[in-house]
């Protein structure tokens, strides 16, 4: 089988590891900043093994964080509050 690469780049990125507790849950995140994401950041939820490329506009989409990170409304709101601070 022959591979057809769309891209294969190496880039220096800035990665931040954050762990915090909310009222209902503990959150362990890896946040990756890269020029590849057009101003957005890659947010990986280490506990749940889920990731998404997010910008401030994505945080305002109803149900988006709940779906992407498989979190309850309360948990997603705690996560959303932190990410608003981070992304603004």
Give the mean pLDDT of 40-51: 96
Is the separation of the CB atoms in 19 and 28 below 8 Å?
yes
Q: Is 69 helix (H, G, I), strand (E, B) or coil?
A: helix
Report the percentage of the chain scoring pLDDT > 90: 92
Chain-centroid distance, C-alpha 7: 22
What kind and span of H or E run contains 50?
A: strand 50-54
Summarised one tens digit per residue, pLDDT across range 3-17 is 999 999 999 999 999
* pLDDT reported for residue 88: 82
Is the separation of the CB atoms in 27 and 20 below 8 Å?
yes
Q: Record the pTM.
A: 0.89
């Amino acid at each position: 089988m022959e591979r057809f690469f769309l891209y294969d780049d190496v880039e220096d990125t800035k990665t931040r590891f954050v762990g915090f507790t909310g009222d209902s849950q503990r959150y362990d995140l890896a946040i990756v900043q890269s020029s590849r994401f057009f101003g957005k950041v890659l947010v990986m939820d280490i506990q749940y093994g889920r990731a998404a490329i997010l910008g401030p506009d994505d945080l305002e989409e109803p149900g988006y964080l709940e779906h992407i990170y498989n979190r309850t409304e309360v948990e997603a709101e705690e996560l959303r509050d932190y990410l608003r601070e981070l992304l603004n």
